[in-house]
Amino acid sequence: MLLNKQRENAPTVNGRVFMMDTIDHFSTSDLALVALLRTEGFVLEKIDRTDARRVMFCFRPDDRLIQTVNDFWAGKLLVEPVAYFQKIKEIKNRIYAG
């Protein structure tokens, strides 16, 4: 259980409390979000294939990543379309390459 002070200072992602000191990676299976994060220059730390039905993409969390994810879900970001599409293709290649 988080202390109230910890909860107040903790960053949030899509309305959920996100404690940086309790997890090593920010993980998502959302291809559009992963493509955006890659387009914005975030490093994909690892691809987790432990669930046979879903691939999880893991990024190192920091304040900029948290803000970018929140801005993504709020529809506040603009990206260069060709670069974004290239990242989608890159990610799909990594998924299917195994």
DSSP symbols for 30-91: -HHHHHHHHHTT--EEEEE--STT--EEEE---HHHHHHHHHHHHT-----HHHHHHHHHHH
Contacts of 17-25 spanning 24+ positions with Cβ under 8 A: 18/61, 18/66, 20/61, 20/62, 23/61, 24/60, 25/58, 25/59, 25/60, 25/61
Give the pLDDT band of residue 19 (cuts 50, 70, 90). very low
pLDDT confidence band for 12 (50 / 70 / 90): low
Closest C-alpha to 34, from 93, 52, 19? 93
Model confidence at 16, pLDDT cuts 50, 70, 90, reads low
Q: Where are the domains of the chain?
A: 22-97
- pLDDT at position 3 over 50: no
pTM here?
Answer: 0.76
